[in-house]
A and B are shown apart, each in its own frame.
Chain A
Amino acid sequence: MPKLIITDRSGKKSEIEYDSNFTLMETLRDNGYDIEASCGGCCACATCHVYIDEKWTNRLKDMDDEEESMLDQAFDVKNNSRLSCQIELSEELDGIEIEIAPE
């Protein structure tokens, strides 16, 4: 199974396996990571904000207007900010490194 590397809010790094049928948010949530995702994944809030390691940002599908607009509601938005509910975890993303953004 493909893997992804997560840095949580305390700075702890860990590796988890993922199923490419799920989004990044669903994978984080179902693995017990502290990610609120209050809208449930329909891009209607900004509580699943993550940073994507710069090496991987170009390999993701571009952000659409809706996601970019919702990021207006997030804190500490950076160039590599994304909403994890909008990231489909394909097999090609094996090894992707992400960091959970501050609350």
Chain B
Amino acid sequence: MIKLKVFRKNIENFENKNVFYAIRDKSIFKNKKILIAGGGDSALDWTNELSKDSNVTLIHRRKEFRAAPDSVSKMQELETKGKIKFIKGQIKKISKIQDSRIMLEYENDDEKSNIEVDYLLPFFGLKMELGPIAEWGLNLHENLIKVDTEKFQTSTPSIFAIGDINWYPGKLKLILSGFHESALMAQEVFKYCFPDKKNIFRYTTSSKELQKKLGV
């Protein structure tokens, strides 16, 4: 899973310089002008948090937010007090301007405007994409990882893939299948983790040892 980009064009050139999809060190935002995009928990939580030490503007395509009601009221309170700004709109373009600042063009009901900031923090959720895994040299099938159906091992021994990320003939994207894949995979992984131990197959319904481990 990778973070959803705010838009497609030209954003890569700004990533990890002016654009961050996750925050590791919030001190870099101190006294800076920041645009936060999105309407979920991450967007609202960071708007509220960073408003303490930064000049924060929140941009979202509508006035309703899917974030927790408590964070939404906090944000609205900050807006009323003039501690943050809220813009209704969608970001369309990014460009570089002097002093390492960036300019964002956004649209609201076909009306275009610009905002100049130091940082853009888009929080739009996650997207199913392989990301860096695509470069690991594993055999792929249409952006999914090929596995065998005995061990759910990839083309590189000791790397396994289960769930929606894998592909094999007859693959069904079901939670049920995910559990089945994990059980078979675990049998093989056991050999890698404990090469000297014997794996004894047991059921939780009858094994006293497993029941003890589970506390039932």
Contacts and interface: CB of A to CB of B under 8 A. Distances in A.
Interface string A66-101: 001101110111000000000000000000000000
Interface of B: 4, 7-8, 38-40, 60-62, 64, 66, 90, 124-125, 127-128, 164, 173
A38 interface: yes
A41 B164 CA distance: 14
A75 B91 CA distance: 9
Given A38-B128, A72-B61, A77 B90 contact: yes
Nearest to A36: B128
19 contacts: A36-B128, A38-B127, A38-B128, A40-B173, A47-B127, A47-B128, A65-B64, A68-B62, A68-B64, A69-B66, A72-B38, A72-B40, A72-B61, A72-B66, A72-B124, A73-B125, A75-B7, A76-B90, A77-B90
A40 B172 CA distance: 11
A103 interface: yes
B115 to A, nearest CB: 19
B4 A73 contact: yes
Contacts, number: 34
Contacts of B4: 73
A9 to B, nearest CB: 12
Contacts of B66: 69, 72
A70 to B, nearest CB: 9
Nearest to A44: B125
**What 9 A-B pairs are tightest by C-beta distance, nearest first?**
A69-B66, A38-B128, A73-B125, A72-B39, A73-B124, A77-B61, A75-B7, A73-B4, A40-B173
